[in-house]
Amino acid sequence: MPDSQIRVAAVDFLNTLPLVAEFLDGRGPQGYRLERTSPAECAGRLARGEADIALIPSVEYARIPGLRALPEICIAAEREVRSVLLLSRRPVVEVQRVAVDPGSRTSVALLALLLGRGRRPPPELAPWSGSAERALADHDAVLLIGDSALRAPRAGLHVLDLASEWTAWTGRPFVFAFWAIRDGVVLPGPLDEFLAAQKRGLQTLDWRVAEAARRAGIGVEDARAYFHRHLHYQFGETEISSLQHFYTLAAAAGLIPAVPTLRFFRDASGPAAARAAG
């Protein structure tokens, strides 16, 4: 593959399936090279200049300078999400020490906000990379994200779905991730080509789910329910407003340096340029 291709980093979770399917199939627009990795590494590659576009944890937009968000598409949940969970051996109000996945960034910040409300001192969030079972042997609770959360047994545990808790608190959906591009990157074609490939992935999701679910170790019907009942991908005004509210709360809690201005990328042509300009 030529070095001139745009380097794209995307999260290697089931929930990204419709966003990357056409690129994996070779049916997406030409000029892009896709690699899949953890949420934290997606952000890291963008920050280090090792990726041109990345599906980043939403909190990382506030930590990495020189980025613009791509419009229209994100990974969000309006209520329960099922793939970002706090599992605990005791009631959540009694939790003092939580094992957290170091590959997660937004979920850790969201958990800090949720657990920190009115609690002094707030619970300790300790990085952990072992199994959930071992984490619960050494901590009061464990934060699981992505496919591991979908697969996790819950019997006998207290379960807090972070998206559901955010919506109950704020009345808003929660935006977990979105595409960001480094300033100065020139796309090989109109932005609408990149966005259209993902929209086609969403439209053809049903026939793709079975194989992807098997690879992830998740039941096919559970996977279908996950996509159709728990996730949505529209990055509209409601999601943008919720994201700005999250940044405001995170900045006040010292989790990010400041509340960022959400700047959208727009190229010189195509309907997305006009939409992003708004």
We report the CATH number of the domain holding residue 204 as 3.40.190.10
Same domain, 72 and 186: yes
**Residue range 183-212, pLDDT digits in tens:** 999 999 999 999 999 999 999 998 899 999
Q: What is the mean pLDDT of residues 47-60?
A: 97
Q: Does the pLDDT of residue 157 top 50, yes or no?
A: yes
229: DSSP letter? I
Q: Does the pLDDT of residue 269 top 70, yes or no?
A: no
**Residue range 93-130, pLDDT digits in tens:** 899 999 998 778 999 999 999 998 867 688 899 988 87
252-255 CB contacts, 8 Å cutoff, 24+ apart: 253/112, 253/113, 253/116, 255/59, 255/109, 255/112, 255/113
Same domain, 61 and 149: no
Cα separation, 230 vs 176, in Å, equals 13
The answer to whether residue 1 is domain-embedded is: no
Same domain, 98 and 125: yes
Domain span at residue 127? 84-170
The answer to whether residue 88 is domain-embedded is: yes
Cross-strand bridge partners of residue 99: 126, 142
Average pLDDT, the chain: 91
Element housing 208 (H / E): helix 205-216
Q: Does the pLDDT of residue 278 top 60, yes or no?
A: no
Same domain, 247 and 189: yes
The answer to whether residue 143 is domain-embedded is: yes
Q: Please tell me the total count of domains within the chain.
A: 2
Take residue 36 and report the two structure tokens written for it.
């899949």
Q: Does the pLDDT of residue 271 top 60, yes or no?
A: no
Do 187 and 194 touch, CB atoms closer than 8 A?
Answer: yes
Q: Which residue, of 140, 155, 170, is where some domain finishes?
A: 170
The answer to whether residue 107 is domain-embedded is: yes
The answer to whether residue 114 is domain-embedded is: yes
The answer to whether residue 158 is domain-embedded is: yes
Q: Check: pTM over 0.75? Answer yes or no.
A: yes
